């Protein structure tokens, strides 16, 4: 007699509950969006299909495990914010990989350029938008929470 649950019982409890069609559609939509964005990010490294498959399946699994529609949307937006913030790092990693090849100079003038630093700031600012929307969705309306804490 086993004292631990089987691997299937530990991995597949996400399918013990079901969502309505709209929530399932949101999960599939976010999984496809995150998979496509990831495949675009890793295109320089030749793993486009693998990036899509891993990101879509992992995000779909994680989002379908959420209890309601609000947390599904918040989780999808948080994942999108992480990918947006990670984009400049993969951009630099592509230059780092190319810098070791013949005919390519040093990487440091490129990394320390003003345009490259602006790229980091722009992508972090873009990532802040879905992160703030997800935070708002995850915590609920802001003003009623403040009023409740102040006792007004």
Q: Number of folded domains in the chain?
A: 1
One pLDDT digit (tens) per residue for the chain, 152 residues: 556 666 666 666 555 667 788 889 999 999 999 999 999 999 988 889 999 999 999 999 999 988 888 899 999 999 999 999 999 999 888 877 776 665 666 667 767 778 888 999 999 999 999 999 999 888 877 778 778 888 87
- 121 HSE (CA, 13 A, CB side): 6
Domain that holds residue 115: 18-141
**Domain contains 131:** yes
**Burial zone of 95 (CB within 10 Å; 0-12 exposed, 13-18 middle, 19+ buried):** middle
Q: Is 95 helix (H, G, I), strand (E, B) or coil?
A: helix
User: Is residue 4, in this structure, part of any structural domain at all?
Assistant: no
Residue 2, in any domain of the structure: no
Residue whose C-alpha is closest to residue 57's, from 79, 73, 26, 35:
35
Answer yes or no: pTM beyond 0.75.
Answer: yes
Per the domain annotation, does 88 fall within a domain?
Answer: yes
54 belongs to a structural domain: yes
């Amino acid at each position: 007699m086993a004292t631990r649950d089987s691997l299937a019982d530990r991995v597949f409890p996400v399918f013990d509950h079901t969502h309505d069609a709209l929530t399932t559609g949101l999960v599939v939509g976010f999984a496809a969006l995150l998979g496509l964005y990831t495949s675009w990010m890793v295109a320089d490294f030749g793993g486009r299909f693998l990036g899509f498959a891993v990101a879509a399946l992992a995000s779909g699994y994680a989002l379908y495990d959420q209890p309601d529609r609000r947390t599904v949307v918040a989780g999808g937006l948080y994942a999108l914010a992480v990918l947006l913030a990670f984009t400049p790092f993969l951009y630099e990693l592509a230059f780092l990989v190319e810098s070791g090849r013949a005919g390519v100079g040093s990487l440091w003038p490129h990394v320390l350029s003003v345009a490259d630093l602006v790229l980091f700031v722009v992508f972090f600012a873009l990532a802040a938008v879905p992160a703030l929307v997800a935070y708002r969705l995850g915590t609920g309306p802001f003003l009623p929470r403040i009023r409740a804490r102040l006792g007004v």
